[in-house]
Amino acid sequence: MHLTGFMLFSPAPHTQLSWVYPPEKIRYQWHEVEYWEEIARTLEEGLFDAFFFADAWGGGDRTAIRWAIQFPRHDPLVLIPRLSAVTERLGFAVTMSTTFYPPYMLARKLATLDHITKGRIGWNVVTSINDSEARNFGVELPPHDERYDRADEYLELVDALWGSWEPDAVVMDMEAKVFADPDKVHRIDFAGRWYSSTGPLNVIPSPQGRPVIFQAGSSERGREFAAQWADCVFAVGGTPKRCLAFRNDLEERMQRRGRDPAALQIINFCGPVVARTQAEAEALAAEISERIPAEAAIANMSGHWNMDLTALPPDTRLSALGEIEGTRGMVEAFQATGDPTLAEVARSYLNMASQEAFVGTPEKVADTLQDLFENGGVDGFQFSPQWYAPDYYRDIVDLLIPELRNRGLVRDRYTGVTLRQHLSQTAAD
């Protein structure tokens, strides 16, 4: 079972108002690097595969500012190198948009990061969905499917850049004063429909060669993209049956491309509320759910779904919103429960404290995860903190991980060094 820890470089990840916490328990605030160092050390202690950073470039309306809904959001790319200094094996995955990063820039930053982290970097590929991001860049977003067509071309280009140095090109012969063999460093002269670059990349081959590729889109076009490029796909979840259908669908798409389905890890989003007793966990979950104002949850949905829902009456039905392009998996999960109102959706939107099976003792939550792992074709879990993040992860590592380890479901040591090695570590290793 592979584990990743989800965060935004912000006051709160997905759970609205998770930054509200008894002040006397707060050691560091989210904008201080020590807060992140503590989380990174905790995840490494728990032998997580990676520390995952979501990211986006927009937001900032009045509601978001008031409640800190995915805003502010600092740049995770320049935080990760700092966290690599206090960890030795933990991987890092960073979200970067193919819409806003020029490909040569992205390829170079990730290759450099792979050197700095000594092979521990992954890239979560997003195409960006939010108009407020586009407005910050003074551009308009291409339509959804075209963004993926562009992303395909983008990946071809950055892949070519990462391959522009042959693995043995660097010689550094002090005697002959030859740095590298010019016959083994190649221009790529890529000229696509949307992107072009001559290369070669100005970074020597990095420990992993290329970063591990993460992806999370669940649309038809997003799945095609994942089947082509992803090493690891994030899924929203649901029942084991629903998870298995998702896996089967992705595997078929991979096979059609001649890719080995075993090369893909599917990681489910989760955010369990774990405590020593069931009563304690339920009290905590109730407190979390109560704290979330519907207004804040609706603002969060607005950002993810790229629709301003804040002006609509809270009793608006989901069906009245028409086509929602953003985070299809989530929308579908809500639609499957009937045709709820915005207020009803808001109550449970990304609020894992509202999901009974994820609230309880270590044994109970381990049962839930084990069921998805064994019967849902799920390879692992992406945790999202439900309260002050350093303490949330502390509890997961102190309470839940030992239970998973007792069951032989998670590693008891890192056998590899790079993130790619962690993700391919199996129970047999």
Q: Which of residues 43-102 bind a second copy (CB under 8 A)?
A: 57-60, 62-63, 65-68, 71-75, 77-82, 84-86, 100-102
The answer for 306, left when phi > 0, alpha when psi is -120 to 50, beta otherwise, is left
Smallest separation, CB 125 to a second copy (Å): 17
Residue closer to a second copy, measured from CB, 102 or 408:
102
Smallest separation, CB 207 to a second copy (Å): 10
Residue closer to a second copy, measured from CB, 53 or 229:
53
Residue closer to a second copy, measured from CB, 182 or 258:
182
Distances in Å between the Cα of 131 and the Cα atoms of 29, 217, 330, 375 are 29, 17, 19, 38
Q: Find the binding residues for a second copy in span 249-308 (CB under 8 A).
A: 291, 293
The answer for 141, left when phi > 0, alpha when psi is -120 to 50, beta otherwise, is beta
By rule CB under 8 A, what string of x and - marks binding of each residue 301-340 to a second copy? ----------------------------------------
Residue burial 110-138, b: 16+ Cβ < 10 Å; e: rest: bbbbbeebebbbbbbbbbbbbebbbeeee
Residue closer to a second copy, measured from CB, 9 or 51:
9
Smallest separation, CB 205 to a second copy (Å): 10
Residue closer to a second copy, measured from CB, 85 or 262:
85
Q: Report cis status (omega within 30 of 0) of the bond before 390.
A: no
Residue closer to a second copy, measured from CB, 27 or 66:
66
Q: Which residues contact 249 (CB under 8 A, 6 or more apart)?
A: 223
Q: Find the binding residues for a second copy in span 122-151 (CB under 8 A).
A: 132, 135-138
Residue closer to a second copy, measured from CB, 60 or 261:
60
Name the one residue in this structure whose structure tokens are 């949850």.
297
Binding segment toward a second copy, per CB under 8 A, in 46-54, 110-118, 348-356, 419-427: 110-118
Residue closer to a second copy, measured from CB, 61 or 332:
61
Smallest separation, CB 13 to a second copy (Å): 14
* 22 burial via Cβ count (<10 Å: 0-12, 13-18, 19+): exposed
Q: Find the binding residues for a second copy in span 175-204 (CB under 8 A).
A: 177-182, 185, 187, 195-204
Q: Does 41 bind a second copy (CB under 8 A)?
A: no
Smallest separation, CB 115 to a second copy (Å): 5
How far apart, in whole angstroms, are the C-alpha atoms of residue 393 and residue 385? 7
Q: How many positions of this chain bind a second copy (CB under 8 A)? A: 75
Q: Find the binding residues for a second copy in span 15-34 (CB under 8 A).
A: 17, 19-23, 29, 31-33
Residue closer to a second copy, measured from CB, 41 or 291:
291
Q: 3-state DSSP call for residue 274?
A: strand
How far apart, in whole angstroms, are the C-alpha atoms of residue 426 and residue 132? 42
Smallest separation, CB 74 to a second copy (Å): 4
Residue burial 274-284, b: 16+ Cβ < 10 Å; e: rest: bbeeeeebbeb
Count H helices, E strands: the chain? 16, 14
Residue closer to a second copy, measured from CB, 200 or 261:
200
Smallest separation, CB 319 to a second copy (Å): 31
CB 353 within 8 A of CB 284: yes
Q: Find the binding residues for a second copy in span 154-173 (CB under 8 A).
A: 172
How far apart, in whole angstroms, are the C-alpha atoms of residue 239 and residue 371? 9
Distances in Å between the Cα of 219 and the Cα atoms of 57, 158, 384, 422 are 22, 23, 22, 28
